[in-house]
Amino acid sequence: MVPISYYLILAAVLFSVGVASFLIKRNIITIFMSIELMLNAVNLTFVAFAHMWHQVQGQIFVFFVMVVAAAEAAVGLAIIIAIFRTRQTLNVDQINLMKL
Amino acid sequence: MDLALFLIFGGLAVAAALNLLLQRHPINSALSLVVVMMSLAVLYWSLGAEFLAAAQVIVYSGAIMVLFVFTIMLLNAGEEERTHGSRAAYIVGFPGAAAIFCLLSFVFLTEGKALGTVSLGGYLDNAANNIAEISHVLFTSLLLPFEVTSVLILVAILGAVVLARKEQ
Amino acid sequence: MPETCLWLIPILPFTGFLLNGTLGRRLPRAAVTGIAWLFTLLPALLVAYLWTVMTGAGAPEVIRAVGGPWIAVTGFAVNFAFTVDHLTLIMLSVVTGVGFLIHIYSAGYMAHEEGYWRFFAYLNLFMFFMLVLVLAESFLLLFVGWEGVGLASYLLIGFYFKKDSAANAGKKAFIVNRIGDFGFLLAMFLTVAHFGTLNFTEVFASISQHPEWQGGFLTAIALLLVLGATGKSAQIPLYVWLPDAMEGPTPVSALIHAATMVTAGIYMVARCHTLFDRSPEALGVVAIIGAATAIFAACIGMVQQDIKRVLAYSTVSQLGYMFLACGVGAYTAGIFHLMTHAFFKALLFLSAGSVIHALSGEQDMRKMGGLRKRIPVTFWTMTMGVIAIAGIPPWAGFFSKDEILYRTFTSDNPIGKLLWLVGLVTAGMTSFYMFRLWFKTFFGQERFEEHADAHGHDAHHDSHAHGVHESPVIMTLPLAVLALLSIGGGWLPVERFLEPVFATAGHAAEAGNSGMEITLAVVSVVVALIGLLTAYVLYVKNPGSSTALAEKFKPVHRLLENKFYIDELYHTVIVLPLVVLTRIFLQGLVDFGLVDGSGKLAGATARGLSTLTRRIQSGNIRSYAGWLALGAAAVLIVMIFGH
Amino acid sequence: MNSMSPNLYALLPEYILTLTGVLVMLLEPVLPASSSRKSLGWLAIVGTLLSAGASLFQLGLGSIVAFSGNILVDRFSIFFHLLIAAVVLVTLLGSLDYFHGHASHAGEYFALALFGAVGMMLMTCSVELLMVFVGLEISSISTYIMAGFRKGQATGSEASIKYFLLGSFATAFFLYGIALAFGATGSTSIASIAAGLATTTTPTLAITALALMIIGLGFKVSAAPFHVWTPDVYQGAPAPIVGLMSTAPKAAAFAVLLRITFSGFPGMQSRWNVLLWGLAALSMCIGNIGALLQRDVKRMLAYSSIAHAGYLLAAFTAVPGDGIATACFYTATYAAMNVGAFAIITQIAGYSENVRTIDDYTGLAQRRPVLSALLAFFLLSLIGIPFTGGFFGKFLVFSAALHAGNVWLAVIGLLNSGVACFYYLRLLAALYTRTAPDEVPETPATVSAPAGLGLAIAALATLLLGILPGPVLNLVHGAAFDSLVTARRVPVAPAARPVPLSDSAIR
Amino acid sequence: MNLDQSILTLITFLPLVGAVVLALLPDRGRIMQWAALAITLVTFLLTLHLPAHFDYAATAGSFQFVADHAWIPIPPIRYHVGIDGLAMWLIVLTGLLAPLGVLMSWNAIGERKKLFYILLLLQQVAMYGIFISLDLFLYYAFWELSLVPMTILIATFGRTKDRRRAAIKYFLYAFIPSALLLVAMIWVYFHTGTFDLPRITEIVATRGISPNSAAVWLASLAFLAAFAVKIPIFPLHGWLSDAIFEAPTAAVMVLAGKTGLYSILRFSFSLFPAESHRIAPLMIALGAIGIVYGALIALVQNDLKRLAAYATLGHLGFIVLGIFTFTISGMDGGIYQILNESLGGAALFMLMGLLYERYQTYDMRQYGGLAAQLPWVVTMYVITTLSVIGLPMLNSFVGEFLILTGSMQSTVNNHVLWTVLATTGVIFSAAYMLVLIQRVFYGELGRAPRSVQGWDLDLREHLALWPMVILFLVMGVASPFWMRAIDTAGPGIVSRITQSAPNVTQNNGYGAGAQANHNMQPNVPTWLRNGTSR
């Protein structure tokens, strides 16, 4: 007998923690992980609504999000490797050549 | 029962998420993220998405997170230094994040009544298989996205190759 | 045929101007002279022809020639139109007659100047505009001439443009005249606003039809016209340009700044007598200005040492008489004096020119003296002029001046008697300074240097600076003619001749109190003789006494010598504040501060905002995410709560 | 036509591009490592041309609904297909010689451009948010990769990582929006959402959903305050790719935004109008003011693109028909002039981009009169000088805004275009300044024929959109009509909300 | 096709074709100069077709040489061109100034000639376009376009280092108010459904643009502001002095004045008659102040071009004053004065350019005593000066006289004060121009002529200047030749505006006849009225 809104709020909490984590973390990889966390929060929302609407479409959406996340991870981590090669650091605070 | 389940695994997810945030070493953060995903898998299951629960464990915490850990290892990323590159992140970012949370929660709570509640287990009254249902929709009405995903993956592979390969 | 004459009279000198102006540089001097003479002589002959047409029984009082439109918009038009009546005829005669004589004289005087062709081109141009001025049938066309003579005057004063003083004088003349023109223009605008036309005939007819119009806007128009006249006729407060105008060649001073142009103001007032008669206030102003100028200029004239400047102040003073005459409604007397003045003042200037010529450019009377033997013709002609201006009968000046004083005395102006007294005193002073000039120049010791170097502004005679000599015939002949006119001019029946023009004006004094007239005449002659005697005592009998007197009344003398410091006053009170205020307030504060500054301020604001915007762009991903989060929150707030 | 034909015809351009892309990928390893990859570029160009041809062919077919209602090919989507194809074409033409002497995966570059185009095209013709999402990801990921193509340069990979991280961050918001929309209406099909909104019991949720989607798309179109990534990424990424990614993905994102707002949430226009009004005004102001002091040309144009996004967003506040048509038109003009401007920068700056700041451009007109004249022309169009597409686009957009009564937005917008003159003119004036400094960075000597062709296309398009906009106007009005009217022909899945499960569920 | 229908199009776009031709020709020798001269001359000859075939009997408000074609379907924008008496002479004038500008640039522009002449020709296109357009959109297009060549001309061919700044300043000043103009135009379109000027005028006369009078008022202000800056009217002249200071002679000749003034006459007065009437007191005041202000500041300048810039400001003030009096004299005189000002200003700038070509400076302090060396130059200067300061029998006098006459007749509050103030302009203008003449030509030989040997006018310069001088004289003496066309337009504008103004007794200036009309009295302040007492 859990209200749907509980799930949604849980998702919101996770999403916000993801956002906060993006803001706090200095390591690019961890920042990327925060994005994954946000995506997971969204997934939870999808699943909750799928349950509410008795629609399988929501679950399929989550499935696609996973695929996309995988693809993004591949590309993202490749970019991270590339940047590590040129800058020898993973600290975002030091990746600010371009500003103003 | 379902409330307990929600509270335990919801709590675990939040705690793990916070841990991700607080840990300094990327490996620890990665492992925390795995915990979050696992907990969510349980919640998926409780919402009647058995297939997703499995996929979450296999694909997400299995494949994707392994990729992360692999990269961390590859780049030999150590503990992050607490550099102070950004004041805006704290001054505007946190209020922003907090506001997002408050606003979303506000919306969910005001709409809470209309949203109804969750019953444990599958919602499909006709007892049809979750996986069967998904695959039916996936290969009929959502066939195109499924097919197009191949292009997406192709691009991702291409990108990974281009970016990660060393210049001659 | 007479109508054609009207067109031809101004156009001929203009043709001369065009010919000399465009081709003159390449023509030999003789040709230039020929052209200039021809195109001045022909109008004079045409004027003579007009005399034959307009006098005699049954002759037309007015001849009109109306040409095509000059300015024409819906509801308002000004045509090219000339008209000749008796007033115009007199003016035409003076202008063309004196003008022609001066042209002849100039050929001798300017014979060795650079820019000979230029001089005659300008002179012809002047003739053109002056003739347009007197022939004009409308205010606007009169204004054409009015401005045109100013232009010619400007060009001729600045003829020796290499000298700063000459260039300055020309500029000053033009600008001061422009102040007068400002009044003239406003008068015209008001005229158009009230009458819808600028045609003399129509304007005056409409005034005549409305006897109820008195003062009011007519006063406004009249006073503005007076402002114009004070500029052109060198009256207070705008007389300052005329003395400086003596920087021009002497024939120019004679023609433009004595005989013709400067009388344009008087002519204009006389021409508009219908208007002025309706505005006693304006007439009063005219009279007061006239009297004040007369005595004021005479005062200054008494102590000047430059021969031409004495004559210049004398001109201002005499013009004051004419103004006074107009101001008391004695237009006829004014015009009469205008005419006689043209004769004797032209004579005086030309004679002075001859003196200067003889002395190779020397103008300072302190360096003259005893010249009567050396240049006898000039001496005798000049003597005629001096007697004429001093007002000793039966020379011309006596009649006209006496007429003015008499009319002033008998006028119904409340301060008429006072004005008369002023005029009388001025007459005495006139006599004094003219004889002073006469004595200092022709009598006493020879104070000049025989081989004077070329200096002073008429100073381009160096090629023939071979001692003091009489001028050639070409110069003395005009002098002789003018001397005759100065002697006999007073006997001309001008008053009767002008009667048709001023029929409405000359009303009161007709009854003729001949006894009083004779008394007043005797008084004025006595005063003139006193002036003569004083001059004799001071400059011939006791040559040193004048200096002693000057020493005794040093402050007064210095004040007079410095022309009451009027130029300085104008400079400090008007010119300097204007320039300083313009620089500081208009250019500095308004233009640079407000106009430019507002743009700069906007630029600085934009720049400041830009810097602010750029500070968001710190280059740090986390900051960017922070901004994104904040933006997202803002969007959510707007959407959720923004109704 | 048999039953398969809609599915065949509907995605013909995408098929062609995908096949060409795959072909390029297959041929790449076959070619010797040292040889030029120009032939692959030509192949890609041919593919793009074919796909544009296919789109034109579709124009004659009327509206097609295909793939169970996931795809709607109408004039709206065809317009954007053509636009994207054109942009890709110009970009490919301009970058054929770009990699000359720099062996940097030219083959992959062409393939990625094509795949990216496929993603963008799918975005514009999808009426199912899942499909949109996948398309968006395809286009995003390919642009992330292309942004980092000059790996050797630190700025290149930095641009890439910034774009990637922030892009994924924004995608999460977009996704969240879709989730909430699904929650509010029980469907992720735009048509069904529109239908579901009429009966929804949770309007606030729907509004929130829209807000989140606008945030996500706002990032993609670099509307303020989601613009922060733009200057850095444009500065760091290779010029031809900036030309591409500042136009084509933006156009696609705008297409999606148009679909979602006007077709998906038409009933709530009064609500999102306010938001987009604000975003438009803010984007214009921040974009223009931010650009004022920029010295790096690409960075300046990045700010300019933010401002242009603002102008475009102004169209959203108009009445629907006007709004869509003018937004489409503006997208086209913006694409033409911006891609042209960046194509010229590509030519001037070359691969190494030594010519970067305004000072570097000083006196360029003396050395490169034609290129300078073209750049001046594009700049003038960006300013909005008449007889250029930029002017007419702006004119239409602000007409539309005024028509809807948004006088102040129009005033803000046009005043902004006044402010914008300053920085465009600074570049323009620098180009035409008489004397150049002594040390001038070397620029490539000649413009290759294909690049010249690409430039000519962009310039001609900019000009024609300005002086003879008639045909395009007809097309965009048709597009607006289609997207508003025929979109209703898409089957609406009944999103029947089950009986509340509160009691009966536990048994 | 009938030439009358295509002549305007031909005139407008011939320079464009010319620009393309120039772009294709090689920039060698004097090819550019000759080609540009040929093109501008041919265009000028074409413009002469207009006065030759103009129908002087046409009713007010009708247009001639009209061409009207559909252009853009939605919104309905037409290629609608045509002229009336107002525009005709402006076009001819523009045509005349172009070849003269080319002649003046013959040697002055030594490098990048191709660019220069192309821009000059494009500027021509824009100006013709402004004068012929009867469709608001088309007009606006040309209006904005006119900024571009000028800006580049200043930026490229400016004299000093500050040229870029001056160019940008010019552009921004003109562009930003034009943005508001565009808003107002679109607003008008949505309330009338058309961009077509004659139709809008009709609508204005019948039902008004919109019942919302405040909005109409704002729209009218937007129109006026854009035009006022372009003219410029005091105090919006911030760009003028810098732009003139920097710009090359040929560009300065067409920089200020006529397009803005024409636009006020054509658009502000047609679209917003009542509002124009309402703002007239302010504009008259600004015009009058501008006259004195410009003249005074000109008086204290040391730089020839800055002097001319402020002089221009003053002279433009006259025109503004004239057209806003809404009297026939003021209107006709104002329109006529646009021609005079353009000619006089152009001549002045040409003459200054001549000096610059010889001595490479515009600083008056460097000059002096040139009169003896350069007799023709000084003659031209003096004649131009006389024209500029409004000597009768020269062109400007006619215009200024009519303007001030109209101003004295107008019904605006304090019109007498403003007339008086404006009339003082004749004093100051004489002052600064004569000072100029004196400082440059009279007195001792200055520093510049001592170091550089000048030369008197050559044939080319004679060719460029004599048309001007002759026009000064002819336009001063035979003004009806020009006024005939202008007078077909001016009274129409006046009556439209005076009729639209609600609470004002109508006064078109003059009564039925030229005879004194005592009914004029209400226009005159009480203190000037016919006094009854003595």
**ipTM here:** 0.89
User: Å from B154 to nearest chain C CA?
Assistant: 28
Nearest alpha carbon to residue E408 among E422, E391, E393: E422
Query: Sign (positive/negative) of CA torsion B40, B46, B50, B52?
Result: negative
pLDDT-derived band at C164, boundaries 50, 70, 90: confident
Any C CB within 8 A of A30 CB: no
What mean pLDDT is reported for chain A?
90
Average pLDDT rounded to a whole number, residues E347-365: 91
User: Å from C621 to nearest chain A CA?
Assistant: 7
Q: What is the DSSP string of D122-174?
A: HHHHB-BHHHHHHHHHHHHHHHHHHHT--TTSHHHHHHHHHHHHHHHHHHHHH
Of C611, C616, C643, the CB nearest to D293: C611
Any A CB within 8 A of C622 CB: yes
Instruction: Decide if pLDDT at E530 tops 70.
Output: no
Q: Does the beta-carbon distance from C196 to E520 stay under 8 Å?
A: yes
Instruction: Select the residue from C612, C613, C636 to test the B interface by mutation, using most B Cβ atoms within 10 A.
Output: C636
Instruction: Decide if pLDDT at D437 tops 80.
Output: no
Instruction: Decide if pLDDT at D106 tops 50.
Output: yes
Instruction: Select the residue from C622, C628, C630, C636 to test the A interface by mutation, using most A Cβ atoms within 10 A.
Output: C622
Instruction: Decide if pLDDT at D447 tops 90.
Output: no
- Locate the chain A residue with the closest alpha carbon to C615: A100
Q: Does the beta-carbon distance from D407 to E182 stay under 8 Å?
A: no
Contacting residues for D5 by C-beta, under 8 A, at least 6 apart:
none
Instruction: Decide if pLDDT at D498 tops 80.
Output: no
Tokens of residue D477, six digits: 């009005």
Confidence at residue A53, expressed as pLDDT on a 0 to 100 scale: 86
Average pLDDT rounded to a whole number, residues B154-159: 92
Tokens of residue D216, six digits: 């996500």
For the stretch C35-86, pLDDT in tens is 999 999 999 999 999 998 888 777 888 889 998 899 989 888 999 999 999 9
Instruction: Decide if pLDDT at D373 tops 60.
Output: yes
Instruction: Decide if pLDDT at C393 tops 90.
Output: no
Confidence at residue D469, expressed as pLDDT on a 0 to 100 scale: 92
Tokens of residue C503, six digits: 């029929």
Instruction: Decide if pLDDT at C459 tops 60.
Output: no
What mean pLDDT is reported for chain D?
88
Q: Does the beta-carbon distance from A23 to C622 stay under 8 Å?
A: yes
For the stretch D337-352, pLDDT in tens is 999 999 999 888 888 7
Instruction: Decide if pLDDT at D131 tops 90.
Output: yes
Instruction: Give percent of chain D above pLDDT 70.
Output: 93
Helix (H) or strand (E) holding E79: strand E77-83
Answer for the pair D391, E141: CB distance below 8 angstroms, yes or no: yes
Instruction: Give percent of chain D above pLDDT 90.
Output: 59
Instruction: Decide if pLDDT at E44 tops 90.
Output: yes
Average pLDDT rounded to a whole number, residues C527-551: 86
Answer for the pair E311, E344: CB distance below 8 angstroms, yes or no: no
Confidence at residue E502, expressed as pLDDT on a 0 to 100 scale: 62
Chain E positions touching C192 (Cβ under 8 A) are: 329, 405, 408-409
Confidence at residue C458, expressed as pLDDT on a 0 to 100 scale: 47
Instruction: Decide if pLDDT at D503 tops 50.
Output: no
Q: Which residues are A91's β-sheet partners?
A: A27
- Chain B residues whose C-beta sits inside 8 Å of any chain C C-beta: 85-97, 99-100, 103-104, 106-107
CA distance D70 to D54: 20
Phi-psi region of E322 (alpha: psi -120 to 50; beta: other; left: phi over 0): alpha
Instruction: Decide if pLDDT at A13 tops 90.
Output: yes
Tokens of residue B54, six digits: 């499995």
Chains near C with 3+ CB pairs less than 8 A apart are: A, B, D, E
Instruction: Decide if pLDDT at E416 tops 80.
Output: yes
Helix (H) or strand (E) holding E66: strand E64-72
User: Å from C622 to nearest chain A CA?
Assistant: 5
For the stretch E336-347, pLDDT in tens is 999 999 999 999
For the stretch B58-111, pLDDT in tens is 988 888 999 999 999 988 878 878 888 778 888 889 999 999 999 999 999 988
Helix (H) or strand (E) holding E69: strand E64-72
Q: What is the DSSP string of D25-66?
A: HHHHHHS-TTS--HHHHHHHHHHHHHHHHHHHHHHTT--EEE
Instruction: Give percent of chain C above pLDDT 90.
Output: 48
For the stretch A55-98, pLDDT in tens is 888 899 999 999 999 999 999 999 998 888 888 888 888 887 77
Confidence at residue B121, expressed as pLDDT on a 0 to 100 scale: 58
φ and ψ at residue C72, rounded to 5 degrees: -145, 115
Chain D positions touching A53 (Cβ under 8 A) are: 182-183, 186, 495, 497-498
Of A35, A42, A97, the CB nearest to D154: A97
Contacting residues for D412 by C-beta, under 8 A, at least 6 apart:
D281, D284, D285
User: Å from B159 to nearest chain D CA?
Assistant: 6
Tokens of residue E239, six digits: 């760009």
Chain C positions touching E162 (Cβ under 8 A) are: none
Chain C positions touching E409 (Cβ under 8 A) are: 192-193
pLDDT-derived band at E511, boundaries 50, 70, 90: very low
Q: Does the beta-carbon distance from B162 to D112 stay under 8 Å?
A: yes
Chains near B with 3+ CB pairs less than 8 A apart are: A, C, D
pLDDT-derived band at D252, boundaries 50, 70, 90: very high
User: Is pLDDT larger for residue D356 or for residue D179?
Assistant: D179
Confidence at residue D500, expressed as pLDDT on a 0 to 100 scale: 46
Average pLDDT rounded to a whole number, residues C599-625: 87
Confidence at residue C564, expressed as pLDDT on a 0 to 100 scale: 84
φ and ψ at residue E65, rounded to 5 degrees: 55, 40
Of D226, D275, D290, the CB nearest to C610: D290
Average pLDDT rounded to a whole number, residues E2-10: 87
Q: Does the beta-carbon distance from C634 to D215 stay under 8 Å?
A: no
Strand E77-83, strand C63-73: pairing: unpaired
Tokens of residue C437, six digits: 């000039």
Instruction: Decide if pLDDT at E510 tops 70.
Output: no
Which 8-state DSSP code applies to residue E211?
S
Any A CB within 8 A of C75 CB: no
Contacting residues for C480 by C-beta, under 8 A, at least 6 apart:
C377, C381
Any C CB within 8 A of D226 CB: yes
Helices C2-23/C29-54 angle, 10° precision: 170
Q: Does the beta-carbon distance from A37 to B51 stay under 8 Å?
A: no
Answer for the pair D225, C625: CB distance below 8 angstroms, yes or no: no
Average pLDDT rounded to a whole number, residues E468-473: 93
pLDDT-derived band at D495, boundaries 50, 70, 90: low
Contacting residues for E514 by C-beta, under 8 A, at least 6 apart:
C76, C77, C196, C197, C199, C202
Confidence at residue C34, expressed as pLDDT on a 0 to 100 scale: 92
- Locate the chain E residue with the closest alpha carbon to C213: E530
User: Å from C639 to nearest chain B CA?
Assistant: 11
